[in-house]
Amino acid sequence: MCGIVGWIDWEKDLSHERPVLQQMTQCLKDRGPDADGFWLTPRAALGHRRLVVVDPAGGQQPMTALKSEHACTMIYNGELYNTEDLRQQLLACGHTFQSHSDTEVLLHCYLEWGTNCLAKLNGIFAFAIWDERAQRLFVARDRMGVKPLFYAQRGSSFLFASELKALLAHPDVKPELSREGLAEVFGISPARTPGHGVFHQVHEVRPGCFLTVTRDRVKQETYWRLASRPHTDDLPTTAARVRELVVDSIKRQLVADVPVATLLSGGLDSSVITAVAAEHFKETGRGTLHSYSIDYVDNDKHFQASSFQPNEDAPYVQLVSQYLGTQHHTIEFDTAELVEALKVATLARDLPGMADVDASLYLFCREIKKETTVVLSGECADEVFGGYPWFYREELLNAGTFPWSRAVKERASWLSPELRAWVKPEEYVAMRYAESLDEVPHLPSEDPIEARRREMFYLNITWFMNTLLDRKDRMSMAASLEARVPFCDHRIVEYVWNIPWEMKTHGNREKGILRKAMEGILPDEVLYRKKSPYPKTHNPSYTKAVRTWLLDILNDPTSPLLPLIDVPVIRKIAESDAQASSIPFFGQLMSTPQLFAYLGQMDYWLREYRVTIKA
């Protein structure tokens, strides 16, 4: 995978701005440690960092191609999974190729079909193409938002980059938080409102959208959205179609010129991916598949079952690996490593994040990178098929707010009275929630309960799934590891979106249709294992360490966090002798220890990024 940076300016001659472009691009070196490239003209400057996955010699960027003397130059972050299908279509149209890279195929898709090329792409991507003849920039992001892309307008300049840090490296983009940005980090985070870049007047290209940038305007258009229609397939046909789509997606995403492995938790989603991948490796003579799982020192001693995390992963990981014959690697971390990595994770995300859930993933990816370059991961199945408790527990389904972040009032109480009165976090969250419900493509005459579940699926796909994809991209890319997410294939999402709840929960089980579809490839105890989220540490030493970190911050009069929070309230929570709460304040994993770590990350971020408040 890669990192991209661009600067369009309608007044300044960018031919002389290579030092600034290099500085921005260098911020993304972890996304692309293998090579860099630059392309500058008076109006456009493009920078690229490359992680080699396919065609080391032929995929160098920025890449320029011609058709009828029509020159276009592209930078691209992503992977196309239907490259060969597209290549054959383009060859029939008269195109010729110098490499077997998906980069060259994507550029020729644009030359042949213009913006309509997006409908033909199956993959994860964020790319930009400068059309020299038209003096126009075309910027696009994949349908699900797997690959990130941020932008900012400053005077005559249009700037864009894969990560916020690269934008902030430009002298015209400041790390300022307006009232809205403060509402994001204190009311919404670690989620982010779709399209929001948190910093003042910094934006995100929304999933399924593209931008056209000319001297006169910046126009964002939607090329893909979910469409609601009656589901007419019966149960056997539906299960067969789900199996076909899932298996095809996994196999397509195994293509690479570098080592490929899978992440294996012993849950349904990762086990399905590992089963299909292991079989495909055997069929194609690629040897033994390697699989990886994460665990924590003494977690077996301290694990506490809950409704969100009902059982441990380790026994299931061992069962699946032995059943499929993978070469398995368990990577274990201790508290000190997790706490230390909280700061690295903040830098990787450019924002306070999911605390140890982020940090552990970064450490996990860093270790995997020592032996492989590409991994397949099970994200998105829960959002697409309905695996979370809030899909079926009435108090969560009808919570009247984002069900993964119900503690809106409690979160507001953590802020200083002055900030709370100015930012109004409860009102802000309610506004974002209402806006999202207004976007839902309802199906006329749908049963009210079914309609509510459709809303829940929409919220999960456009909000919670994006939060987890954001996390996976930043933590894996910080370790220069490419993480692919087969369940995020838009064909799967489109088909499952319209499967009715009764069929989705076949057998009265969460993700029942997926379990039915994949019968025969896994042991039943794995296929029908109760949903369990990404594993976190249960070691009390972690709680002690992050509590100490937070108390040190509260005792530091120079901390930039203190004016923003209600110090007595936070101190009372931190000094309490009560056991850490098992009720999450975000998602399924972020409870009291993660609150301590989140506030610690917030303090570190405010200092490190020199964030200022814009009234």
State the pairing for strand pair 136-141/209-213: antiparallel
Place of tokens 């038209």: 134
Full DSSP string of 370-427: TT-SEEE--TTHHHHHT-SGGGT-HHHHTSSS-GGG--HHHHHHTB-HHHHHHH-HHH
488 annotated active-site: no
Place of tokens 């699946």: 320
First and final C-alpha spacing in the chain: 38
- The active-site residue out of 2, 109, 209, 380 is 2
The CA–CA distances, whole Å, from 110 to 130, 159, 348 equal 11, 21, 32
Full DSSP string of 117-145: GGGG--EEEEEEEEETTTTEEEEEE-SS-
Query: Residue 68 burial by CB count (10 A; 0-12/13-18/19+): exposed, middle or buried?
Result: exposed
Given a contact cutoff of 8 angstroms between Cβ atoms, the answer to whether 31 and 49 are in contact is yes
Torsion of CA 157, 158, 162, 167, to 10 degrees: 30
DSSP character at residue 196: B
Residue 482, SS3 per DSSP: strand
User: Which residues, 6+ apart, have CB-to-CB distance to 600 below 8 Å?
Assistant: 342, 546, 549, 550, 553
Residues annotated as catalytic are: 2
